[in-house]
Structure 1
């Protein structure tokens, strides 16, 4: 069994006085892809925001990125980024007025090994050749699929231990989605980047991930190996709607 990179216990999250997560437990194994599934409003995006500490949380979240377990609850978002947690938010979040290349350079702003940044930019271009063709183009003029490729590439410029992805398929054409998910699988296999994927398309997510958690109104309703959940007809009908 792989080592645990991340573990949440009794995790609760709040927007002001409104509670949206109700004591959930989940873990992410090092070098593996974990997905969180559920209907709209189940708490999927809130879980990613809790990991990044952009919403108020209680409970425990520990990250073991090589220097022993570190508690994330109560830390600043900036500190968590410096520990190697990168977030690709819903809506991509690119800097639209900057060029593709400047977006990638910004992704590496906390790194100390500045001499390796140029090589990682070229690696991003080799993974997504469309970005190479548009390296000097303003990010805001890219198509939706190209902006998603840029958002993922910019997050990878951090050389993260854990990559958080929020609905990477949303609003994109099926061929573009297939290309992006194929590249995400490649990144996981070749670089060993652990991922926590939130995705509305359960089939896509289960085909990519190793382990899945199903959220229902802020609670974990079910968890297990993705292959097992994908092949359980009663689970698919009850929780995934297909």
Structure 2
């Protein structure tokens, strides 16, 4: 079994005085894809923000950093990025006034290995040829699908241990979604990048992920192997709506 890369215990998250997550326990294994499912308002996006420490949290989030375990609660977001956590937020979050190429360069801002950065940029263009065609184009003029490709590629320029993805299919045409998810599977298989995926399309997410957690109003309602959850008709009807 793969080792645990991240483990959260009794994780609570707050916006001001409003509590959104309640004693959530989950883990992410090295080289695996984990998905968090649930209805709007269940706390999925907040879970990603808690990992990045952009919301107030209590409890424990432990990163297996190799020689030692690191406690992330209380760390700065910048420090967590430097530990290898890359976040692709909902709404893509590209720097719209900058070119595609400059967006990719910004993704590698914490790296000093220029030759490897250049190789990773070539890899991004190879995986997403549309970005290569538009490398000097302003990011804000790209289509929604192209901006999502750019957001994922920019995050990968960090060479992350963990890639956080928030609703990567939102607002995109089915063919574009299928292409992006195919490449996400390829990135996981070829580069061994661990992923935590938040996704409204439960069927799509369960088809990609190895393990799944279902959130319900800030609590973990169910967890298990993604294939098992996908094939359980009673679970699908009760929690996933399909």
Q: Give per-residue Cα distances to partners, 1:103-159, cap 9 Å, x unaligned.
A: 000000001222211111000000000000000000000000000000000000000
Aligned counterparts of 1:64 and 1:111: Cα–Cα separation in 2: 21
Hey, what does 2:61 align to over in structure 1? 61
Hey, what does 2:119 align to over in structure 1? 119
Hey, what does 1:149 align to over in structure 2? 149
* TM-score, normalised relative to structure 1: 0.99
Aligned counterparts of 2:112 and 2:2: Cα–Cα separation in 1: 28
Matches within 5 A, 1:182-193: 182-193=182-193
Task: Give the superposition deviation at 1:65.
Answer: 3.1
Aligned counterparts of 2:200 and 2:99: Cα–Cα separation in 1: 30
What value does the CA root-mean-square deviation take over the aligned residues? Answer: 0.5
Hey, what does 1:49 align to over in structure 2? 49
Aligned counterparts of 1:86 and 1:34: Cα–Cα separation in 2: 15
Indicate yes or no: 2:104 matched with 1:78. Answer: no
Hey, what does 2:93 align to over in structure 1? 93
Hey, what does 2:17 align to over in structure 1? 17
- Unmatched 5+ stretches in structure 2: none
CA contact (8 A) 1:65 1:84 kept: no
- Unmatched 5+ stretches in structure 1: none
Higher mean displacement: 106-115 or 91-100: 106-115
Aligned counterparts of 1:224 and 1:150: Cα–Cα separation in 2: 31
Hey, what does 1:139 align to over in structure 2? 139
Q: Give per-residue Cα distances to partners, 1:10-65, cap 9 Å, x unaligned.
A: 00000000000001000000000000000000000000000000000000000113
Hey, what does 1:40 align to over in structure 2? 40
Aligned counterparts of 1:184 and 1:114: Cα–Cα separation in 2: 25
CA contact (8 A) 1:11 1:23 kept: yes
Aligned counterparts of 1:113 and 1:66: Cα–Cα separation in 2: 21
CA contact (8 A) 1:167 1:199 kept: yes
Hey, what does 1:5 align to over in structure 2? 5
* TM-score, normalised relative to structure 2: 0.99
